Amino acid sequence: DTGVSQNPRHKITKRGQNVTFRCDPISEHNRLYWYRQTLGQGPEFLTYFQNEAQLEKSRLLSDRFSAERPKGSFSTLEIQRTEQGDSAMYLCASSLLGTSGRATKPGNEQFFGPGTRLTVL
């Protein structure tokens, strides 16, 4: 396992269709994050999981968006009834939080995947 992987790398869909992206984190990492990056902007936080529990969701995550991490390993991000404004790069990151509740290193490093680029026509 050399890093975080994301599939597909590119997705083109028509407005109104549903899409699902997958993220496979680094195997021992218990935290998993989703970010969205639009053109000319930095990544924006969407949501994160600790093991299988979804602990926080951004206001950016509308009701059309849902994320799961059923077994605490891989995660999926689904967008229902896609809109043109959903076109963006969707980034996944993972990190390891120590069992005491503290990060194993201060400033918990997140390792990013290559992203899934979504284009909604």
Residues that bind another protein (CB under 8 A): 4, 31, 33, 40-45, 48, 55-56, 91, 93, 95, 97, 101-103, 105-115
Q: Quick one: 15 or 102, whose CB is closer to another protein? A: 102
The Cα–Cα gap between 36 and 71 comes to 23
Minimum CB distance to another protein, residue 80 (Å) = 24
**Nearest distance, CB of residue 16 and another protein, angstroms:** 28
The C-alpha angle 34, 39, 77, rounded to 5 degrees, equals: 25
Task: State in angstroms the smallest separation of the CB of 27 from another protein.
Answer: 17
Using CA atoms, how far residue 11 sits from 31, 49, 69, 103, in Å, is 25, 24, 21, 34
